[in-house]
Amino acid sequence: MTSHSEPHQVDIEEYIAEVKGEVRGPWKPTPPKADYETLTTMYAPLKEALKAAYAQASAGKGKDRHANGKSFLEQPIMEIGRMVGMGYQTGQAMKKAQEAGGMVSRQQYEAARAELLGAINYLAAAYILIGEISSKQDVDLGSNRSL
């Protein structure tokens, strides 16, 4: 009898990096296969939430309302943060989280989930902005501005 493992979804970029033996991002290399499969299962809900936030920004509300044909780094979510600091992005995330709480109390669950995806995207923008600031990539915070 031949043993077959159950098929599972694999992120193609992660797979290519693993095959090439590359380290991806600021985290450690992919663990051995058995551990990788366990982690993939354990963190699948997180991955799905992050993918949903990406989809909202790249193909949903974010693209429709804010992109105007610009890359994420050129959109208001980033440009305003560069002008006034990451308090803009973290404040927007806080506002969206508060709004989501009200929506849940009104049983508007899908609207609350969509609002939280927006909060995730604002926090991701703050994360990117910190990276720009730390590497001094053309970010002018001005003398009266702070993070």
Mean pLDDT of the chain: 82
Summarize the confidence of residues 61-74 as an average pLDDT: 82
Q: Does residue 61 register a pLDDT over 90?
A: no
Residue 60 has pLDDT above 50, yes or no: yes
Q: Is the pLDDT of residue 141 over 70?
A: no
More confident residue, 87 or 10: 87
Q: What is the pLDDT of residues 9-56, one digit of tens each?
A: 566 666 666 666 665 565 666 666 667 777 788 889 999 999 999 999
| 32 compared with 6, residue with greater pLDDT | 32
pLDDT of residue 40: 80
Domain boundaries, the chain: 69-134
Q: How far is Cα 93 from Cα 115, in angstroms, rounded to an integer?
A: 9
Region of poorest pLDDT, from 66-70, 76-80, 90-94: 66-70
112-116, 121-125, 140-144: lowest mean pLDDT where?
140-144
